Structure 1
Amino acid sequence: MKLIFKKDHLLNGLNIVSKAIPSKTTMSILECVLIDASADQIKLTGNDMEMGIETTVEGDILEKGKIALDAKLFYEIIRKLPAGDAQVTIESDAKFNTTITCENSVFNIQGRDGEEFSYLPYIEKDKYISLSQFTLKESIRQTIFSIAVNDSNKMMSGELFEIKGNELRVISLDGHRISIRKIILKDNYGDNKVIVPGKTLTEISKILNGDNEKEVLIYFSKNHILFEFDDTIVVSRLIEGEYFKIDNMLSNDYETKVRVNKREFLDCIDRSMILIRESDRKPIILNVTDENIGIKVKSAFGSMNAEIDVNKTGKDIMIAFNPRFLVDALKVIDDETIDLYMMNPKSPCFIRDEEGKYIYLILPVNFIAEN
């Protein structure tokens, strides 16, 4: 095999597929990246058996072939070669001895037979949806923070993609909060529900360029999901099982509705968190009256009191939250003003818009009211 690349093209391809290279594995072949130039294109592949990424890289094929190279070593070599349009030549012999040449630098490393590599599973392309790269990237950003970080409950480590007609709902929860984003699709599709691992969505959001003009095609099978965009495909296993009955947790009932300037509210909570350490678990207490929200924090480091003007309907209420949960939700809402709906100090608070594009449910925490 003999291939010629521009350094930047090759490095960009390696950046993409390296997201599917496992940090620890008992199968050493999975620590490799596959270079497949056996046909008319050059494809790079990484695969950790839960998620696989394949991307096409621009280059010249002088001699066809395929080889697996240690991903970490290969990446570091290419990364440290001269920048820009520098030309990289990769050549391997029948024993997979591989030479990487760029200007005055020559590396000799040992490769492995590409046939040993685990190929990505085949997905029938019959069930699918289409949306813009921008929409998918934003939907992940606006929900991914409320998945569970540990694997104690597998369902909570993923996000539900629920399709009904021309509507996609992306849902995540961690036992303390729920995030829901609703996207209106260009076409009508069959109903479908799948649970996508959070790790897969996090890595995809890093690869997507967020272009509103470029599409992502998402294909579904019984056990896998496939994302196809630009010159890249990402295949991931789905999380098996029945997702939580989210609609049973949602309510339109409220005793108190508050309309508040989002930026002012967010900045005030952000300032209060200066006094709170993660280990303290000190809540932020909101005292909602007719004209304002009183915001109060007290910790071992000091205390803070602030007030924000609001438009309130319904009853006065005093309620407390983990401030981080409020900040996470507020940061991803683009509206200038937001509406909070509350029933009592023990019931969830809902942040939602009138069109139903987003819903954030946050559970309150217990607190001791002080004068």
Structure 2
Amino acid sequence: MKIICKKTDLVHAVSTVSKAVSNKTTLPILECILIEAVAGKIKLTANDMELGIETTVEGNIQEPGKIAINAKLFSEIVRKLSDNDVTIETDEQYKATITCEKACFQIMGQEGNEFPYLPEIEKNQSITISQFSLKEIIRQTIFSISDNENTKLMTGELFEVKDQQLNVVSLDGHRISIRKIQLKDSYDPFKVVVPGKTLQEIVKIISGEMEEDVNIYVTSKHILFEFDQTRVVSRLLEGEFYKISQMLSSDYETKITINKKEFLNCIDRASLLIRESEKKPIIIDITDHSLKLNINSFFGSMEEEIMIQKEGRDLLIGFNPKFLMDVLRVIDDEEIHIYLVNPKAPCFIKDDADSYNYLILPVNFNH
């Protein structure tokens, strides 16, 4: 194989696929990137058997062929080359010669045919969504997935399509995040649970342009995201996702409307007095026109008052401040509505259009 391509294009492609390179494997081939020059295309692929990413690079193919090269080493070499054309040439012993201006590296690769190909995905069920929308809905829900492998389904997000709407749901046992967006067309309904790791990598790769689309295809075992020159294939999490409808209630005893930025900044200031290990709740005292926020910790105490609009009863309730801040950081509205029932029941932060709904469980406190 002999190919020539621009260093900048190569760096971009390597950094895209590297996100699917396995870093804990007993199979050395899974620590590699496959470089293929076939049918007039230069293709880079990485695959850790759960997540696979493939992208194409513009370049000149002088001799077709393929080779698997250690991803970490290849990535370091390519990044440190000067900004010029890079030539990659291989011989029959799977040695790769990488040349750029006066620099010339020779490294051992592995046979390309040993590399596990990405599974072929049937394209029967699909939706199309803008890169911007996909990036936003992941950003606005991903923070409330669980990192506990014992509750496997909670480490992913539910993607559900029905009635020309995509619903995305994540939960970790203390909170639930729901985002809904209208799709441009009607699609066959489906429900899949996508691993959080896959979605975190997608967010890093997609440009987030409003005009650029992502085509998403699902089968019973896999999900495929296609955009730009890139394909991302991931296994789905198996099992029935939690029935959250019974956790969602429209009843409330107290409703407050508050300036989001003011509320976020206030909690952020209060959090200065909390150590992660201390798990101190922030206590919120809701009365007619104001919300008083106070915190008592090993370091000291803090109190602040914010003006609000209130309907219903006064209420004293405690929350994990991080959970509140996670939600407030991803809502773009200037004002938010918070619905509460009592100090033991979850609160809901949702908009009138029902495009987002966040449930947060309160924390017990001694006051």
Q: TM-score scaled to structure 2, two decimals?
A: 0.99
Aligned to 1:78: 78
Pick the aligned partner of 1:204 from 199, 202, 205: 202
Amino acid at match of 1:43: K
| Inter-partner Cα distance in structure 1 for 2:135 and 2:321 | 25
| Inter-partner Cα distance in structure 2 for 1:110 and 1:367 | 61
Aligned to 2:143: 145
Aligned to 1:311: 309
| Inter-partner Cα distance in structure 1 for 2:254 and 2:176 | 20
Aligned to 2:9: 9
* 1:97 Cα deviation from its structure 2 partner: 1.3
Aligned to 1:266: 264
| Inter-partner Cα distance in structure 1 for 2:5 and 2:335 | 50
| Inter-partner Cα distance in structure 2 for 1:106 and 1:351 | 58
| Inter-partner Cα distance in structure 2 for 1:165 and 1:41 | 39
Aligned to 1:19: 19
* 1:27 Cα deviation from its structure 2 partner: 1.0
| Inter-partner Cα distance in structure 2 for 1:23 and 1:293 | 48
| Inter-partner Cα distance in structure 2 for 1:38 and 1:111 | 18
* 1:40 Cα deviation from its structure 2 partner: 1.2
* 1:150 Cα deviation from its structure 2 partner: 2.1
Amino acid at match of 1:283: P
Aligned to 1:320: 318
Mapped pair 1:193 → 2:191: yes
Gap regions ≥5 residues in structure 1: none
Amino acid at match of 1:80: K
Amino acid at match of 1:111: G
Alignment size in residue pairs: 367
Mapped pair 1:133 → 2:131: yes
Local SS of the residue matching 1:219: strand
Large movers: runs of 4+ above 2 Å: none
Aligned to 1:48: 48
* 1:2 Cα deviation from its structure 2 partner: 0.3
* 1:38 Cα deviation from its structure 2 partner: 2.1
Gap regions ≥5 residues in structure 2: none
Amino acid at match of 1:268: C
| Inter-partner Cα distance in structure 2 for 1:160 and 1:112 | 38
* 1:98 Cα deviation from its structure 2 partner: 1.1
Amino acid at match of 1:329: V
* 1:149 Cα deviation from its structure 2 partner: 1.4
Mapped pair 1:256 → 2:241: no
Identify the range of structure 1 (155-164 vs 91-100) with the bigger mean alpha-carbon deviation. Answer: 91-100
Q: Report matched runs for 1:1-371 at 5 Å.
A: 1-83=1-83, 86-369=84-367
> Any idea what the Cα deviations from partners look like across 1:303-322, whole Å, max 9, x if unmatched?
00000000000000000000
| Inter-partner Cα distance in structure 2 for 1:99 and 1:281 | 55
> Any idea what the Cα deviations from partners look like across 1:249-290, whole Å, max 9, x if unmatched?
100000000000000000000000000011000000000000
Amino acid at match of 1:354: D
| Inter-partner Cα distance in structure 2 for 1:65 and 1:201 | 32
Amino acid at match of 2:159: F
| Inter-partner Cα distance in structure 2 for 1:260 and 1:355 | 17
* 1:59 Cα deviation from its structure 2 partner: 0.7
Local SS of the residue matching 2:354: coil
* 1:95 Cα deviation from its structure 2 partner: 1.4
Amino acid at match of 1:50: E
* 1:237 Cα deviation from its structure 2 partner: 0.2
* 1:165 Cα deviation from its structure 2 partner: 2.1
> Any idea what the Cα deviations from partners look like across 1:197-240, whole Å, max 9, x if unmatched?
00000000000100000000000001000000000000000000
| Inter-partner Cα distance in structure 1 for 2:27 and 2:235 | 18
Local SS of the residue matching 1:189: coil
Identify the range of structure 1 (249-258 vs 146-155) with the bigger mean alpha-carbon deviation. Answer: 146-155
| Inter-partner Cα distance in structure 2 for 1:290 and 1:12 | 55
| Inter-partner Cα distance in structure 2 for 1:51 and 1:98 | 26
Local SS of the residue matching 2:185: strand
Amino acid at match of 2:153: M
| Inter-partner Cα distance in structure 1 for 2:163 and 2:57 | 36
> Any idea what the Cα deviations from partners look like across 1:97-121, whole Å, max 9, x if unmatched?
1100000100011111100000000
Amino acid at match of 2:76: E
* 1:343 Cα deviation from its structure 2 partner: 0.3
Amino acid at match of 2:266: C
